[in-house]
Protein backbone atom coordinates (compact mmCIF):
# COMPACT_ATOMS: atom_id res chain seq x y z
CA UNK A 1 0.00 0.00 0.00
CA UNK A 2 1.11 3.57 -0.44
CA UNK A 3 0.16 6.82 1.20
CA UNK A 4 -2.88 8.44 -0.35
CA UNK A 5 -2.18 11.06 -2.97
CA UNK A 6 -5.51 12.70 -3.53
CA UNK A 7 -5.17 13.22 -7.28
CA UNK A 8 -4.05 9.65 -7.93
CA UNK A 9 -6.72 8.09 -5.72
CA UNK A 10 -9.39 10.28 -7.29
CA UNK A 11 -8.57 8.80 -10.71
CA UNK A 12 -9.05 5.29 -9.29
CA UNK A 13 -12.36 6.19 -7.66
CA UNK A 14 -13.62 7.68 -10.92
CA UNK A 15 -12.75 4.46 -12.75
CA UNK A 16 -15.23 2.42 -10.67
CA UNK A 17 -18.09 4.97 -10.86
CA UNK A 18 -21.24 3.79 -12.62
CA UNK A 19 -20.27 0.11 -12.29
CA UNK A 20 -21.74 -2.62 -10.12
CA UNK A 21 -19.02 -3.15 -7.53
CA UNK A 22 -18.63 -5.29 -4.43
CA UNK A 23 -18.10 -3.29 -1.27
CA UNK A 24 -16.07 -4.09 1.86
CA UNK A 25 -16.37 -1.55 4.67
CA UNK A 26 -15.17 -1.93 8.23
CA UNK A 27 -14.37 0.18 11.21
CA UNK A 28 -12.86 -1.33 14.32
CA UNK A 29 -11.23 -0.65 17.65
CA UNK A 30 -10.20 -4.30 17.94
CA UNK A 31 -11.81 -6.97 20.08
CA UNK A 32 -9.49 -6.32 23.01
CA UNK A 33 -10.23 -2.60 23.41
CA UNK A 34 -12.44 -3.12 26.48
CA UNK A 35 -10.03 -5.70 27.89
CA UNK A 36 -7.04 -3.37 27.95
CA UNK A 37 -9.14 -0.33 28.79
CA UNK A 38 -12.11 -1.36 30.92
CA UNK A 39 -15.07 0.90 30.37
CA UNK A 40 -14.05 1.63 26.78
CA UNK A 41 -17.16 1.67 24.62
CA UNK A 42 -16.21 -0.66 21.80
CA UNK A 43 -18.12 -0.03 18.60
CA UNK A 44 -17.50 -0.96 15.00
CA UNK A 45 -19.23 -2.10 11.84
CA UNK A 46 -18.47 -4.56 9.08
CA UNK A 47 -20.01 -5.16 5.67
CA UNK A 48 -18.56 -7.38 2.94
CA UNK A 49 -19.58 -8.20 -0.60
CA UNK A 50 -22.64 -6.03 -0.85
CA UNK A 51 -23.11 -4.76 -4.41
CA UNK A 52 -23.40 -1.01 -4.92
CA UNK A 53 -23.24 1.29 -7.91
CA UNK A 54 -22.03 4.79 -7.12
CA UNK A 55 -22.46 7.78 -9.37
CA UNK A 56 -19.79 9.90 -7.70
CA UNK A 57 -16.80 9.02 -5.57
CA UNK A 58 -14.66 11.64 -3.85
CA UNK A 59 -11.58 11.73 -1.68
CA UNK A 60 -11.37 14.86 0.44
CA UNK A 61 -9.16 16.53 3.02
CA UNK A 62 -5.61 16.16 4.29
CA UNK A 63 -4.44 12.82 5.62
CA UNK A 64 -6.21 11.05 7.22
CA UNK A 65 -8.63 11.51 4.36
CA UNK A 66 -12.35 11.09 3.99
CA UNK A 67 -13.81 9.14 1.10
CA UNK A 68 -17.48 9.30 0.12
CA UNK A 69 -19.49 7.45 -2.50
CA UNK A 70 -22.83 8.91 -3.62
CA UNK A 71 -25.41 6.29 -4.58
CA UNK A 72 -28.72 6.82 -6.39
CA UNK A 73 -30.52 6.32 -3.07
CA UNK A 74 -27.87 6.76 -0.41
CA UNK A 75 -24.28 7.15 0.67
CA UNK A 76 -21.20 5.27 1.72
CA UNK A 77 -18.36 7.04 3.46
CA UNK A 78 -15.26 6.32 5.51
CA UNK A 79 -12.97 8.62 7.45
CA UNK A 80 -9.40 8.05 8.58
CA UNK A 81 -8.09 6.77 5.23
CA UNK A 82 -4.28 6.91 5.03
CA UNK A 83 -3.20 4.27 2.47
CA UNK A 84 -4.41 2.79 -0.77
CA UNK A 85 -3.53 0.15 -3.33
CA UNK A 86 -4.91 -1.11 -6.61
CA UNK A 87 -4.03 -4.76 -6.06
CA UNK A 88 -3.01 -7.42 -8.57
CA UNK A 89 -6.66 -8.39 -9.00
CA UNK A 90 -7.71 -4.87 -9.89
CA UNK A 91 -9.40 -4.23 -6.56
CA UNK A 92 -9.20 -0.79 -5.01
CA UNK A 93 -8.19 -1.19 -1.35
CA UNK A 94 -8.28 1.82 0.97
CA UNK A 95 -7.27 1.64 4.60
CA UNK A 96 -6.62 3.80 7.62
CA UNK A 97 -3.63 2.71 9.70
CA UNK A 98 -2.99 4.37 13.04
CA UNK A 99 0.45 5.37 14.34
CA UNK A 100 1.04 1.93 15.89
CA UNK A 101 0.37 0.13 12.60
CA UNK A 102 -3.11 -1.07 13.46
CA UNK A 103 -5.90 -0.93 10.94
CA UNK A 104 -8.76 1.32 12.07
CA UNK A 105 -10.88 1.53 8.93
CA UNK A 106 -11.04 -0.14 5.52
CA UNK A 107 -13.03 0.67 2.41
CA UNK A 108 -12.59 -1.61 -0.59
CA UNK A 109 -14.31 -1.93 -3.95
CA UNK A 110 -14.00 -4.67 -6.53
CA UNK A 111 -15.78 -5.78 -9.71
CA UNK A 112 -15.58 -9.38 -8.47
CA UNK A 113 -16.62 -10.65 -5.02
CA UNK A 114 -13.97 -10.52 -2.29
CA UNK A 115 -12.99 -14.02 -1.28
CA UNK A 116 -14.95 -15.37 1.70
Partner 1 sequence: MTIQQERHVLVVFPHPDDEAFGVSGTITTHIQQGTPVTYACLTLGEMGRNLGNPPFATRESLPAVRKKELLASAEAMGLTDLRMMGLRDKTIEFEDDEKMVRMMTDLIEELNPSKIITFYPGFAVHPDHEATARAVVRAVRRMKDRPTLHGVAFANDTLEKLGNPDVVYNISDVRTQKMNSMKAHISQTAWMLEEMEHKLQQGDTETENWLMQERFYNYRWDEDFEKSF
Going by their DSSP bridges, the two strands 92-97 and 65-71 should be labelled as unpaired
Distance, CA of 106 to CA of 78 (rounded, Å): 8
Stretch of residues binding partner 1 (CB under 8 A), selected from 6-14, 59-67, 73-81, 101-109: 101-109
Under the binding rule (CB under 8 A), the answer on residue 24 touching partner 1 is yes
Taking the complex as a whole, the smallest distance from the CB of residue 17 to partner 1 amounts, in Å, to 21
The residue from 102, 111, 112, 113 that contacts partner 1 (CB under 8 A) is 102
114's CB contacts (< 8 A; 6+ apart) are 22, 24, 48, 49, 91, 108
The residue from 9, 21, 97, 109 that contacts partner 1 (CB under 8 A) is 97
109's CB contacts (< 8 A; 6+ apart) are 16, 21, 22, 23, 24, 91, 92
Taking the complex as a whole, the smallest distance from the CB of residue 43 to partner 1 amounts, in Å, to 14
Residues binding partner 1: number (CB under 8 A): 31
Under the binding rule (CB under 8 A), the answer on residue 65 touching partner 1 is no
Nearer to partner 1, 59 or 104 (CB): 104
Amino acid sequence: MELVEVKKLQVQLDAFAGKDVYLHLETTNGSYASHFNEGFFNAGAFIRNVVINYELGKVVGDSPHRVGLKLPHGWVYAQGITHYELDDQGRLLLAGHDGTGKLAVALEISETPFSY
